[in-house]
């Protein structure tokens, strides 16, 4: 298997995709699976248990997003699909040793952009069930942004105590 681009590069590349075809859906599937690793990595690097739990919840939901994308691929192809080992591979997620509020603010913005991207993709698909799955993923990305913003508030409040 060729070396995978990192999580951030893959995210940026998908941000430029206006129409979601099956190949792009597989890329989203991998990116959502990697989102779990991203959030677990963030949670491990912050010293606030409640904020870390919010981040881990986001990570768990990223796996649910991947399962929805897998279902959308199957609906688009008209048959159930099983990912290959290669498709299951996650992107590398380079993270700094310490996570601060400035970095998490970028995550908030990224999650909000992800919602907008999912809604735009949903507008482009013909299958209403696929559109529904995409819209649900998008709405949950906004919830992720809200959780990360709450984590920032918690971290900042404990820093001033």
In sequence order, the 6+-apart residues with CB closer than 8 A to the CB of 142 are: 111, 112, 115
1.20.1630.10, 1.20.1260.10, 1.20.140.90, 3.40.30.10: CATH of 7-160: 1.20.1260.10
Neighbours of 68 (CB within 10 A): 20
User: Percent of the chain beyond pLDDT 70?
Assistant: 98
Q: What one-character DSSP code corresponds to residue 91? A: P
Residue 161: predicted pLDDT: 63
Q: What mean pLDDT comes out for the span 43-62?
A: 96
pLDDT band at 149 (very low <50, low <70, confident <90, very high): very high
Residue 159: predicted pLDDT: 79
pLDDT band at 151 (very low <50, low <70, confident <90, very high): very high
pLDDT in tens, 69-85: 999 999 999 999 999 99
User: Percent of the chain beyond pLDDT 90?
Assistant: 90
Q: What mean pLDDT comes out for the span 119-148?
A: 97
Q: What one-character DSSP code corresponds to residue 98? A: S
Q: CA 148 to CA 161: how far, in whole Å?
A: 20
């Amino acid at each position: 298997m060729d070396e995978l681009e990192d999580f951030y590069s893959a995210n940026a590349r998908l941000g430029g995709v206006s129409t979601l075809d099956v190949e792009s859906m597989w890329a989203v599937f991998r990116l959502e699976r990697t989102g779990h690793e991203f959030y677990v990595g963030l949670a491990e690097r912050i010293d606030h248990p409640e904020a870390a739990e919010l981040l881990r919840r986001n990570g768990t939901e990223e796996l649910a997003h991947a399962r929805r994308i897998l279902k959308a691929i199957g609906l688009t192809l008209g048959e159930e699909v099983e990912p290959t080992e290669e498709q299951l591979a996650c992107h590398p997620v380079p993270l700094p040793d310490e996570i601060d509020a400035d970095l998490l603010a970028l995550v908030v913005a990224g999650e909000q952009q992800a919602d907008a991207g999912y809604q735009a993709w949903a507008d482009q698909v013909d299958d209403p069930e696929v559109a529904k799955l995409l819209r649900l993923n998008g709405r949950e990305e906004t919830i992720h942004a809200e959780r990360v913003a709450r984590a920032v508030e918690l971290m900042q409040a404990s820093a001033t105590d």
